[in-house]
A and B are shown apart, each in its own frame.
Chain A
Amino acid sequence: MRFFKRIMKTIFMKTIVSAASAQKAKVKPEIPTLTHILSEFNDCVDLVHRYYPEVNVHLVYFDHQVDHDKLYREVMNPLIHVHAEEEVPKLLEQSQFTLVRDSKELVEGILSGRVAIFSNSKTYLVDVFGLQSRSVSQSESETVITGPHDAFTEQAGINLSLIRQRIKSSHLKVIKLSVGEVTKTDVYILYIKDIANMTYVNEAIRRISNIEIDAVFDTNMLLQFIDDAPFSIFPQFLTSERPEAIASKLVAGRIVGIVDGSPSALSAPTSFFEYFSSSDDYNQRWMLGSASRLLRFLALFITLSFTSLYVSVTTFHYEMIPENLLITLTESRSKVPFPPLFEALFMEVTIELLREAGARLPSKIGQTIGIVGGIVIGQAAVQAGLTSNILIIAVASSAIASFVTPAYVMSASIRFLRFGLIILAGVWGNFGLAVGISAIVIHLSGLTSLGSSYLTPIAPFKPRDWKDVFIIAPFKYITERPSQSKSPNTVKNKMRK
């Protein structure tokens, strides 16, 4: 019976599939007409429809999406110089005019800033796109002391040119995809042929092509659709606003994604440790760069453990505090009526509120918030007996340490995890802390970025990568691309040591 059902199901499925494919084959492109286009864009006040009665030519375009100089130069001026309708087809034979036979293609063309030209029964598109956008400026979220200061803008074209300016190679390939059924946002996948591993390129294209959503507005939004583990707190794609950082990822064999309308580019595959590197590290002497990087890993430890250790020790393990310090701590805590867990959570939430307020307000008011928060609340909280002095030091060090992480998304994830560790430490002391850290490690060990291990080069163990991950060796000694990118061309430095 089951066998019979299966056969019937197969037959019916085949019939349905073949009928659907036959129907698909029958669908012919709709011939574009002016009436259709005008009805399609009905109630769009920004749509311009111009008619040249002398030559019987109609122009249709969106006023704010075209470069008016270019429009005049490429379309209007030549049309003015045509004196008879018969001369128009000859003019439209020029290479900048593209003949369009499909109405859908024409609609998409107009939407992306092209001008539609209707002449006789034929329709053409000409690219005069000229969107107004802000000029290239410094990055607000990723500042560096040395090195280039330009940052990506919201226009993908400019961003692509900033990368092309840095990688002048015909091997730098760009694939264009479209995401968002309503927004039709352009997404560009960049890779360097013969350096990037095509498995990653194909995987990224597959994941982006599978997105079925009405709108995508930003890179950080896009990458949440293509994450390996969407429920994880950790970012699985590195984002950056810095063209030179993104160019260096491409040269390292990674792939890059640019979303039109977003000033950040994504790079993959990435590892947990990559979020602790900054462009600045490479622009300093290698020893100073290495020291900065090690300092960031120390900051990671401080962010995660300082406040939770305070809570653990003052709740359960007073014996861990040396005698001299114990007197100070006891005095400081004697006025505080709450358990250390609540005391710490109160201060940590206050710090997070200050951070959030500082980020949302204009920079001048933000500074005031910093002073109010840092001096007034901190000092007043101690005097009012709400917290101890030592907790203020622990919370402040932990907050400062969290801002040392160059990638904001990673820094935010770590700060969030800190709350979990504080609660565990408050409930189960050092045991809770060990359980919390174990849980983080177990979670990290299961994470992947584009299918590649998130803990590279620790696990899988790749010691040759360490000289460009935990420290920065002199450039002469960094001879190979990161193993995570699985590049077919691993050697990047042929200099003699």
Chain B
Amino acid sequence: MNDKLSHFHVTILIYITQTGAVIITLPRLLAEHFGTNGWLSLLFVYMVVSVNLLLITAVYRLGKGKSIFEIMERSISKIILYPFYLAIASLWAMLGCLAAKQYVLIFQMIAFPTTNPMIFKLLIDILAFILIIKNVYKIAKAATVFFWMIVWMILLLFYFYGDFEWSRLTPFVFQDSAITLNSFFSIYLAFLGYEVCLLLFPYVDKRTKLMKAVQISNLMLTFTYVYLSIIAYGFYGYKHLKTLEYPLLNMFAYIQFPFVQGTENLLFGFLLFSIIITIVMYWWGAKEISVQILPLKGRVLAFIILFISFCISYIPKSINDTERWLSILGYAEIGLSFGLPIGLILLLLIQRMRGEAR
């Protein structure tokens, strides 16, 4: 397949990858960590992500679109690189796996308390496997369709306009909170997913305008988060928000139509369309990296990765365990999303000085 990803496809793919199950807890996280008008912190995080994207842009430009593996393997011995590859592959495989597990556990909690969540997890893994064994172009096509199938849900926020009150937002900013670095990290996790664009270099050309597309998706995501958070703040007020475990689910439950009410499990079901792409992109990334170590067929590698992650996903039993694991791995991912581009830039500069980068 010689198809290159289009600008629009990359924008949607990254947007959907970034959108995960965190969205249902985000308003509470903002209220907990940033207090009044906590949604403003999203703008700060947006700017930090944009800076990170600029670093990735520098890698793309300095490397002239070369794959990151090509850049690294030009200067670093494979003996050093293989453990590094293995670490990233494991990290991404685990992130994908835990994101799926978190979604499944929440679904089990709201609708199927007596069912074994690993059955749901297995179903999601099978779906993901079918998608991973296709090329990234087809994953992007599926992401585009899924995007159209969930984007309309933003319109549901109009439903809350009647009960929205500006006074609940208060004129104060970040009151009643102790802002720490950890607060920013916990919000930053909601933006992760953009870093997989590092692996898209070989699948794009100049017309794709890769980094512009990623910046647009980050902007779209910020808009979605800010809009949702403002509505949640104006609907519940920040004090009430702190007490809600999953504010978005509560908001869904509030929506009533003449023929249907209590739509939270139906609408949460639709979130699967977004989550499936998030986990697929992490697993696809893990597969792409693993190919560098084990030159096996894509299908075999994908199966191995999914099988191992499925076995590991048995360990965290509760939502709390899963969220704790996700936070720890998320922090590692934040480190990787900054560290890897910086390392690559340094490597490219050294290669340029040595006259290797031709």
- In the assembly, what is the distance between CA of A445 and CA of B131, in Å? 9
**B-facing residues in A423-451 (Cβ within 8 Å):** 428-435, 437-439, 441-446
Give min CB distance, A467 to chain B, whole Å. Answer: 17
Which residues of the other chain, B, contact A455 by a CB distance below 8 angstroms? Answer: 141, 144-145
- In the assembly, what is the distance between CA of A134 and CA of B198, in Å? 64
For B1-43 the 0/1 string (1 means CB < 8 A from A) is 0000010110000000000000000000000000000000000
- In the assembly, what is the distance between CA of A460 and CA of B1, in Å? 14
Give min CB distance, B45 to chain A, whole Å. Answer: 28
- Pairwise interchain contact A431-B9, C-beta atoms closer than 8 A: no
- Pairwise interchain contact B6-A460, C-beta atoms closer than 8 A: yes
Which residues of the other chain, A, contact B123 by a CB distance below 8 angstroms? Answer: 428, 431-432, 435
- Pairwise interchain contact A442-B142, C-beta atoms closer than 8 A: yes
For B102-131 the 0/1 string (1 means CB < 8 A from A) is 000001000110010001100110010011
Query: Which residue of B has the minimal Cβ distance to A309?
Result: B266
**A461 close to chain B: CB less than 8 A:** yes
- Pairwise interchain contact B140-A459, C-beta atoms closer than 8 A: yes
Q: State which of A430, A441, A460 has its C-beta within 8 Å of the C-beta of B265.
A: A430
Query: Which residue of B has the minimal Cβ distance to A319?
Result: B262
Task: Tally the A-B contacts, defined by beta carbons under 8 Å.
Answer: 102
- Pairwise interchain contact B256-A441, C-beta atoms closer than 8 A: no
- Pairwise interchain contact B262-A320, C-beta atoms closer than 8 A: yes
Which of B82-90, B270-278, B342-350 contacts the other chain?
B270-278
**B250 close to chain A: CB less than 8 A:** no
Which residues of the other chain, B, contact A446 by a CB distance below 8 angstroms? Answer: 134, 138, 141
**A48 close to chain B: CB less than 8 A:** no
- Pairwise interchain contact B272-A435, C-beta atoms closer than 8 A: yes
- Pairwise interchain contact B259-A445, C-beta atoms closer than 8 A: no
- Pairwise interchain contact A461-B6, C-beta atoms closer than 8 A: yes
**A50 close to chain B: CB less than 8 A:** no
- Pairwise interchain contact B6-A317, C-beta atoms closer than 8 A: no
**B258 close to chain A: CB less than 8 A:** yes
Per the CB 8 Å criterion, the residue count for chain B at the interface is: 39
Which residues of the other chain, B, contact A277 by a CB distance below 8 angstroms? Answer: none
Interface hub of B6, B119, B144, B259 (most chain A Cβ within 10 A)? B144
- Pairwise interchain contact B144-A434, C-beta atoms closer than 8 A: no
- Pairwise interchain contact B144-A461, C-beta atoms closer than 8 A: yes
**A322 close to chain B: CB less than 8 A:** yes
- In the assembly, what is the distance between CA of A320 and CA of B262, in Å? 5
Q: State which of A432, A441, A444, A460 has its C-beta within 8 Å of the C-beta of B9.
A: A460
- In the assembly, what is the distance between CA of A451 and CA of B155, in Å? 36
Give min CB distance, B137 to chain A, whole Å. Answer: 9
Give min CB distance, B273 to chain A, whole Å. Answer: 6
Q: State which of B112, B142, B273 has its C-beta within 8 Å of the C-beta of A434.
A: B273
- In the assembly, what is the distance between CA of A317 and CA of B123, in Å? 20
Give min CB distance, B231 to chain A, whole Å. Answer: 23
Give min CB distance, A228 to chain B, whole Å. Answer: 13
Which residues of the other chain, B, contact A445 by a CB distance below 8 angstroms? Answer: 134, 138-139, 141-142, 145
Give min CB distance, A300 to chain B, whole Å. Answer: 13
- Pairwise interchain contact B260-A322, C-beta atoms closer than 8 A: yes
- Pairwise interchain contact B266-A441, C-beta atoms closer than 8 A: no
Query: Which residue of A has the minimal Cβ distance to B142?
Result: A445
Query: Which residue of B has the minimal Cβ distance to A444?
Result: B145
- In the assembly, what is the distance between CA of A432 and CA of B123, in Å? 9
Which residues of the other chain, B, contact A321 by a CB distance below 8 angstroms? Answer: 260-261
**B235 close to chain A: CB less than 8 A:** no
Give min CB distance, A315 to chain B, whole Å. Answer: 11
**A182 close to chain B: CB less than 8 A:** no
Listed A/B pairs (15) with beta-carbon separation below 8 Å? A319-B261, A320-B261, A322-B259, A322-B260, A428-B112, A428-B123, A429-B265, A431-B111, A443-B130, A445-B139, A445-B141, A446-B138, A459-B144, A459-B145, A461-B144
Q: Which 7 A-B pairs have the closest CB atoms?
A: A459-B141, A445-B142, A434-B269, A459-B144, A445-B141, A430-B269, A319-B262
Residues of A within 8 A of B (CB): 316-317, 319-322, 325, 428-435, 437-439, 441-446, 453, 455, 458-461
A428-B119, A432-B123, A445-B145 provided; 17 other pairs, C-beta below 8 A? A321-B261, A322-B261, A428-B112, A430-B269, A431-B123, A431-B269, A431-B272, A433-B269, A437-B149, A437-B273, A442-B130, A446-B141, A458-B144, A458-B145, A459-B140, A461-B6, A461-B8
